[in-house]
Amino acid sequence: MWVIIKFDKKKLTSLKNEFFKKLGSKPIFYSPKIKIQNYSKLKLNNKEVLLLGDYILCFHIRFSNKNIFNTLRYCKGVKYFLNGFSKAQLEIIEFIDRCKLNEDSQGFIQQSFFDFKNNKKFKFLSGPFTNNIFKIIEENKFYIKASIGKLNTKFSKEDYLFSPI
Protein backbone atom coordinates (compact mmCIF):
# COMPACT_ATOMS: atom_id res chain seq x y z
CA MET A 1 0.00 0.00 0.00
CA TRP A 2 1.22 3.50 -0.86
CA VAL A 3 1.25 6.29 1.73
CA ILE A 4 1.99 10.00 1.41
CA ILE A 5 4.38 11.41 3.99
CA LYS A 6 5.20 15.02 4.77
CA PHE A 7 8.86 14.97 5.72
CA ASP A 8 11.75 17.16 6.80
CA LYS A 9 14.06 17.48 3.77
CA LYS A 10 17.18 17.62 5.94
CA LYS A 11 16.36 14.29 7.59
CA LEU A 12 15.37 12.18 4.57
CA THR A 13 18.22 9.66 4.92
CA SER A 14 17.51 9.09 8.61
CA LEU A 15 13.80 8.66 7.78
CA LYS A 16 14.65 5.97 5.20
CA ASN A 17 16.98 4.18 7.63
CA GLU A 18 14.44 4.16 10.46
CA PHE A 19 11.68 2.89 8.15
CA PHE A 20 14.00 0.07 7.10
CA LYS A 21 14.71 -0.85 10.72
CA LYS A 22 11.09 -0.72 11.89
CA LEU A 23 9.48 -2.37 8.85
CA GLY A 24 12.01 -5.18 8.54
CA SER A 25 12.42 -4.88 4.78
CA LYS A 26 13.22 -2.00 2.52
CA PRO A 27 10.25 0.23 1.60
CA ILE A 28 10.01 1.81 -1.85
CA PHE A 29 10.24 5.61 -1.88
CA TYR A 30 9.25 7.74 -4.87
CA SER A 31 9.66 11.49 -5.21
CA PRO A 32 9.49 12.93 -8.75
CA LYS A 33 11.88 15.79 -9.52
CA ILE A 34 12.38 18.40 -12.23
CA LYS A 35 15.49 20.21 -13.38
CA ILE A 36 15.12 23.99 -13.35
CA GLN A 37 17.58 26.45 -14.83
CA ASN A 38 18.10 29.93 -13.42
CA TYR A 39 20.52 32.78 -13.89
CA SER A 40 22.81 33.78 -11.06
CA LYS A 41 25.55 36.36 -11.60
CA LEU A 42 25.12 36.07 -15.40
CA LYS A 43 25.64 32.30 -15.26
CA LEU A 44 23.03 29.65 -16.08
CA ASN A 45 22.73 27.17 -13.20
CA ASN A 46 20.82 23.88 -13.04
CA LYS A 47 18.81 23.16 -9.92
CA GLU A 48 17.06 19.96 -8.88
CA VAL A 49 13.58 20.56 -7.41
CA LEU A 50 11.21 17.99 -5.92
CA LEU A 51 7.89 18.14 -7.75
CA LEU A 52 5.91 17.37 -4.58
CA GLY A 53 7.93 19.68 -2.35
CA ASP A 54 8.29 18.14 1.09
CA TYR A 55 5.97 15.19 0.39
CA ILE A 56 7.18 11.73 -0.56
CA LEU A 57 5.36 8.58 -1.64
CA CYS A 58 6.27 5.36 0.14
CA PHE A 59 5.20 1.76 -0.51
CA HIS A 60 5.39 -1.19 1.84
CA ILE A 61 3.20 -4.25 2.20
CA ARG A 62 2.83 -3.68 5.97
CA PHE A 63 1.09 -0.32 5.47
CA SER A 64 -2.21 -2.20 5.11
CA ASN A 65 -1.97 -2.74 8.90
CA LYS A 66 -3.03 0.59 10.44
CA ASN A 67 -1.24 -0.12 13.75
CA ILE A 68 2.18 0.23 12.06
CA PHE A 69 1.65 4.00 11.78
CA ASN A 70 1.77 4.40 15.57
CA THR A 71 5.42 3.31 15.52
CA LEU A 72 6.35 5.13 12.30
CA ARG A 73 4.74 8.43 13.29
CA TYR A 74 7.66 9.24 15.60
CA CYS A 75 10.53 8.43 13.23
CA LYS A 76 13.08 11.17 12.59
CA GLY A 77 12.11 13.24 9.59
CA VAL A 78 8.39 12.38 9.58
CA LYS A 79 6.13 15.38 10.10
CA TYR A 80 2.89 13.47 9.45
CA PHE A 81 1.10 10.98 7.20
CA LEU A 82 -1.65 12.33 4.96
CA ASN A 83 -5.08 10.92 5.73
CA GLY A 84 -7.20 9.18 3.12
CA PHE A 85 -4.34 7.44 1.33
CA SER A 86 -6.07 4.05 1.60
CA LYS A 87 -9.00 5.31 -0.50
CA ALA A 88 -6.72 6.97 -3.06
CA GLN A 89 -4.50 3.99 -3.96
CA LEU A 90 -5.64 3.93 -7.59
CA GLU A 91 -4.98 7.67 -8.04
CA ILE A 92 -1.54 7.39 -6.41
CA ILE A 93 -0.57 4.51 -8.70
CA GLU A 94 -1.84 6.42 -11.77
CA PHE A 95 0.18 9.49 -10.72
CA ILE A 96 3.36 7.43 -10.27
CA ASP A 97 2.85 5.71 -13.63
CA ARG A 98 2.30 9.07 -15.35
CA CYS A 99 5.46 10.47 -13.72
CA LYS A 100 7.57 7.47 -14.74
CA LEU A 101 6.19 7.64 -18.28
CA ASN A 102 7.31 11.29 -18.55
CA GLU A 103 10.79 10.88 -17.02
CA ASP A 104 13.95 11.36 -19.06
CA SER A 105 17.01 9.09 -18.90
CA GLN A 106 18.29 10.92 -15.78
CA GLY A 107 15.00 10.52 -13.89
CA PHE A 108 13.76 14.11 -14.27
CA ILE A 109 10.16 14.91 -15.25
CA GLN A 110 9.86 16.27 -18.80
CA GLN A 111 7.58 19.05 -20.02
CA SER A 112 5.17 16.51 -21.55
CA PHE A 113 3.98 15.77 -17.98
CA PHE A 114 2.37 19.20 -17.57
CA ASP A 115 -1.00 19.99 -19.12
CA PHE A 116 -1.67 23.50 -20.38
CA LYS A 117 -4.22 25.46 -22.36
CA ASN A 118 -3.92 28.33 -24.83
CA ASN A 119 -4.11 32.00 -23.84
CA LYS A 120 -2.81 31.58 -20.32
CA LYS A 121 0.38 33.03 -18.91
CA PHE A 122 3.37 30.81 -18.28
CA LYS A 123 6.85 31.22 -16.89
CA PHE A 124 9.98 29.63 -18.37
CA LEU A 125 11.84 27.38 -15.94
CA SER A 126 14.76 26.61 -18.26
CA GLY A 127 16.59 27.92 -21.30
CA PRO A 128 17.60 31.42 -22.41
CA PHE A 129 14.26 32.93 -21.38
CA THR A 130 14.39 31.59 -17.79
CA ASN A 131 12.02 33.47 -15.42
CA ASN A 132 10.39 35.35 -18.35
CA ILE A 133 6.61 35.28 -18.63
CA PHE A 134 4.99 34.39 -21.95
CA LYS A 135 1.60 33.81 -23.50
CA ILE A 136 0.89 30.95 -25.91
CA ILE A 137 -0.31 32.15 -29.29
CA GLU A 138 -0.36 28.86 -31.14
CA GLU A 139 0.47 25.28 -30.32
CA ASN A 140 0.91 22.13 -32.38
CA LYS A 141 2.48 18.70 -31.96
CA PHE A 142 6.10 19.85 -32.26
CA TYR A 143 6.38 23.48 -31.20
CA ILE A 144 4.76 26.39 -29.39
CA LYS A 145 4.47 29.90 -30.78
CA ALA A 146 4.62 32.34 -27.88
CA SER A 147 4.59 36.04 -27.14
CA ILE A 148 7.20 37.32 -24.65
CA GLY A 149 6.32 40.96 -24.24
CA LYS A 150 6.55 42.39 -27.78
CA LEU A 151 8.69 39.48 -29.04
CA ASN A 152 7.06 36.53 -30.79
CA THR A 153 9.05 33.31 -30.93
CA LYS A 154 8.75 29.59 -31.59
CA PHE A 155 10.27 26.87 -29.43
CA SER A 156 10.10 23.11 -29.10
CA LYS A 157 7.90 21.68 -26.35
CA GLU A 158 10.55 19.11 -25.50
CA ASP A 159 13.49 21.51 -25.10
CA TYR A 160 12.24 23.84 -22.35
CA LEU A 161 10.37 23.58 -19.07
CA PHE A 162 7.65 26.07 -18.21
CA SER A 163 4.81 26.28 -15.72
CA PRO A 164 1.51 28.17 -15.55
CA ILE A 165 1.35 31.29 -13.41
Say yes or no: 80 and 6 in one domain. Answer: yes
Which residues does the chain have with pLDDT short of 70? 115-119
> What is the domain count for the chain?
2
Say yes or no: 106 and 125 in one domain. Answer: no
Q: What is the DSSP string of 59-81?
A: E-GGGGSTTHHHHHTTSTTEEEE
CATH number reported for the structural domain that contains residue 91 in this entry: 3.30.70.940
Is the pTM here over 0.85, yes or no? no
Strands (E) across the chain are located at 2-7, 28-30, 33-40, 43-50, 55-59, 78-81, 121-124, 133-139, 143-148, 151-156, 162-164
Task: Determine how β-strand 162-164 pairs with β-strand 121-124.
Answer: antiparallel
Domain that holds residue 159: 114-164
Q: What is the pLDDT of residue 116?
A: 63
Tens-digit pLDDT profile for residues 73-98? 888 999 999 888 888 899 999 999 99
Give the separation between CA 17 and CA 2, rounded to whole angstroms. Answer: 18
